[in-house]
Amino acid sequence: MRDPSSLPGWLAARILHIRPEAMVLDKPAGLPLDPGRRGGNASLVDWLPLLQLGKRHLPQPAHRLDTDTAGCLVLGRTKPALAALGALFAGRLAEKVYWAVVAGRPPQEEGILDLPLRKVSTREGGWRMEPHPEGQPARTAWRLLGSSGGRAWLELRPATGRTHQLRVHCASLGCPILGDPFYGTSAPGGMHLLARSILLPLGPEMGGVLKSEAPVPPEMLPAFRQCGSATDFVTEV
């Protein structure tokens, strides 16, 4: 199976971009990348044999997305490509843009959060991330794109890739991401965080620059439209 059109329609629709070395998937919120320790749950691993599309090895994620985060996920389709992609992400050369709807409105129109994070765990509450001066460096640039009715639409550009970075940073602004059960409260439509676009400066041997953009999931559209206009959410890439 080499032609994406031969995939089941629901999966073919999830492929945002494909080339011999890499592909970009529109990962749905709620789908983990792996089944976890106990197994038995649906995960991206279940999709990989279908996404092999004639390649020698199964494609593999080149970076991580939280289970509850939707949007652009890059997969390497060959071992050399996966290594090259991993080096780009490790070297912070990937340009990642996220969109979020948050509860409340930040105090300024834009800003940069330089807030180190560390992982903490308790028997009662499990693990979570928290700001701490001895944590790992975490930096996020943010910009207000719209607001209405006690909610705001933010563009988030992480310079680092810490676990739950955007979720903790938004909460530290006093504006937790809508539907975030860890650092805010649950809401209809789940957590409103979208990996909106990705840009990778691949070399000519991998087809040059890779750029892709994910649409706003239907379950998130009402909240995004509350803060913007319908034309704001048309995919351009």
Known catalytic residues are 66
Q: Which residue type sits at 107?
A: P
- Got the DSSP string for 111-138? EEEE--EEEEEETTTEEEEEE-TTSB--
2 bridge partner residues: none
**What angle is formed at CA 119 by the lines to CA 118 and CA 123, rounded to 5 degrees?**
150
Rounded Cα–Cα distance for residues 112 and 20 (Å): 37
Question: Which residue in 102, 60, 101 sits closest to 84, CA to CA?
Answer: 60
Q: Residue 101 CA to chain centroid, in angstroms?
A: 14
* Cα torsion 212, 217, 218, 223: sign: negative
Residue with tokens 């944590």: 135
End-to-end alpha carbon distance in the chain:
26
Structure tokens at 84: 């090259």
